[in-house]
Amino acid sequence: MARIALGSFLDFVRSGPQDSVRLVRRQRAMYLGSGGQAWAFYQPFRSGVRRAISAPDPEAVLTAVVDKAGPKQRSHFQELRRGMCAWLSGTKATGVQVESCSWWHDELEVTLSKRSLLGLRHSSGAVELVLPYLKEPELSTQDAAPVLRILQLGRDRVLPGATPVVLDVRRARSHRLRANTNEDDLDTFIAGEVSKYLTYWQAAEAA
């Protein structure tokens, strides 16, 4: 059994064939405790975003996060602050509480954690369940689709009735499932990605 975060699965599905093998090896080391605290690099900003969405002055909250960033984090956090502030200024939504749950397929457990997800309620009453994507490479809707589907499958336990969104924070760009998405085909694709992930995970264990 492998247990990873939703963001880690997103990193996997958007990686190339050779990169994905190395990525799973690094993730396995990280989750099993021998890979240091790589996950902690973006954690201060992720926490700041959760505070900012309900704050009177979101930019001030995120600026405080940037001011406390280490030398290696600072340029990343500055770019993330610009993107997040631009997105929030056009969103005009308030934060709502979300819960955590897990999604399973075969021997892979993917966690949907309230520490990584945002709940937003718009003035229209519409609710969104948002996964912020903080990494440098640009994210496409095709890359985001498998994770959007997992959010869709888990939303009733996390934020009932919400529309799943993956937010490319640096580019202030929201990704949603297309209306014409063939869910059966997407589920088949996800099952294949899970199978590959588990194969690479087991190979890393044997190495």
User: pLDDT tens across 130-175, in order?
Assistant: 999 999 999 999 999 999 999 999 999 999 999 999 999 999 999 9
What's residue 34's pLDDT?
54
Closest CA to 118 of 37, 202, 74, 174: 174
Confidence of residue 205 (pLDDT cuts 50, 70, 90): confident
Report whether pLDDT(23) > 60.
yes
Please give the tally of structural domains in the chain: 1
Show the domain range for 173.
2-206
What's residue 39's pLDDT?
66
Cβ of 201: how many Cβ atoms within 10 Å?
19
Report whether pLDDT(207) > 90.
no
Integer-rounded Cα radius of gyration of the chain: 17
Taking the C-alpha atoms of residue 78 and residue 124, their distance in angstroms, rounded to an integer, is 31
Q: Buried b / exposed e across 24-37, counting CB within 10 Å, b at 16+?
A: bbebbebbeeeeee
Distances 168 to 35, 80, 87, 111, 174 between C-alpha atoms, Å: 26, 9, 10, 20, 6
Residue 190 near residue 150, CB atoms below 8 Å = yes
Closest CA to 201 of 115, 108, 76: 108
Could you tell me which residues are beta bridge partners of residue 127? 121
Confidence of residue 64 (pLDDT cuts 50, 70, 90): very high
